[in-house]
C-alpha cells in the first residue's frame, strides 16, 4: 500500500502546487502565465537569457 502512495505523490504534488499558483490569477493573467514562466526560465541562462526572453515578455504584455 505504501509503495503505491509513493508512486502517486510525485504526480499529484506538482499539480496541486500549480493549482494554488493559478487560483489567484484571473482572466488574462491565466493566459499570460505560460509566457511568464517561459520568460522567467530563459532569464536564468547566463549571457543570452534576457535577450531570448524578450519575445515571451512581449507575449505576456500583449495578453495583459
Residue 27: what pLDDT?
A: 72
Mean pLDDT of 20-49: 82
pLDDT of 10 > 80? The answer is: no
43 CB-near residues (< 8 Å, 6+ apart): 49, 50, 53
pTM: 0.58
Roughly how many angstroms between the first and final C-alpha of the chain, as a whole number?
A: 46
Residue 6: what pLDDT?
A: 63
33 CB-near residues (< 8 Å, 6+ apart): 22, 25
User: Could you read off the pLDDT of 17-33 as tens digits, one per residue?
Assistant: 777 776 666 777 778 88
53, 42 contact by CB (below 8 A): yes
Q: In the chain, where are the structural domains located?
A: 25-64
Amino acid at each position: 500500500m505504501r509503495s503505491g502512495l509513493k508512486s502517486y505523490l510525485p504526480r499529484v504534488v506538482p499539480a496541486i502546487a500549480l493549482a494554488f499558483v493559478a487560483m489567484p490569477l484571473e482572466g488574462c493573467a491565466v493566459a499570460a502565465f505560460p509566457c511568464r514562466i517561459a520568460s522567467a526560465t530563459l532569464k536564468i541562462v547566463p549571457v543570452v537569457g534576457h535577450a531570448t526572453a524578450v519575445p515571451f515578455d512581449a507575449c505576456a504584455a500583449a495578453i495583459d
